[in-house]
Amino acid sequence: MPKKESIFHYFEHIFGISMPFYVDKILYEKEKYQTHVYVEYNKALTFTSSCCKEEGCQIKSAHPRTWRALDIVNNQTYIHINLPSVKCKKCGKTQDIDVPWARKASNFTLEYEQKMVAYAESMSMSANSKTLEESD
Ligand SMILES: [Zn+2]
């Protein structure tokens, strides 16, 4: 396997980017300490609608979306995709598809949200234990 492919697979693995999505390009902005991961998919594919979970819905349009992912060694990391909207075969609504790495309407990846929740919980626990004068 060529080196370039293995690093792309690594990014897919750590960010939960799974088929039919794949990492197409990784840009590193040295001055900004930012890593940008660009995700692609086969435009000929059909997708499952997010409303009725109906399979085989065709892409109607696409628009750029970005999610903040967990930092990679202190580099802010962002996932980008031209997110497809599909027309639901069941109800007729046109909606963005769901992606495996983030909740609907969230601008953060699932792991990023989990870490923020864990951080908030540990902060409040240490604040609480201070108030109660107990060690955590
Ligand atoms: Zn529907």
Residue 20: cis peptide before it, omega within 30 degrees of 0: yes
15-31 burial, b for 16+ CB within 10 Å, e for fewer?
bbbeeebebeeeeeeee
Alpha helices in the chain (DSSP H): 3-15, 110-132
Is 75 within 8 Å of 36 (Cβ atoms)?
no
Structural domain spans, the chain: 3-132
Q: What is the largest CA-CA distance in the chain?
A: 61
CA terminus-to-terminus distance, the chain: 47
Residue pointed to by tokens 């953060």? 108
CA 132 centroid distance within chain:
39
pLDDT at residue 126 tops 90: no
48 alpha carbon to ligand 1 midpoint, in Å? 9
20 alpha carbon to ligand 1 midpoint, in Å? 21
CB atoms near residue 40 (< 10 Å): 15
User: Phi, psi at residue 57, to the nearest 5°?
Assistant: -90, 140
99-112 pLDDT, tens digit each: 999 999 899 999 99
87 alpha carbon to ligand 1 midpoint, in Å? 8
What number is the average pLDDT over the span 13-23? Answer: 92
43 alpha carbon to ligand 1 midpoint, in Å? 20
23-73 pLDDT, tens digit each: 999 999 999 999 999 999 998 999 999 999 999 999 999 999 999 999 988
52 alpha carbon to ligand 1 midpoint, in Å? 4
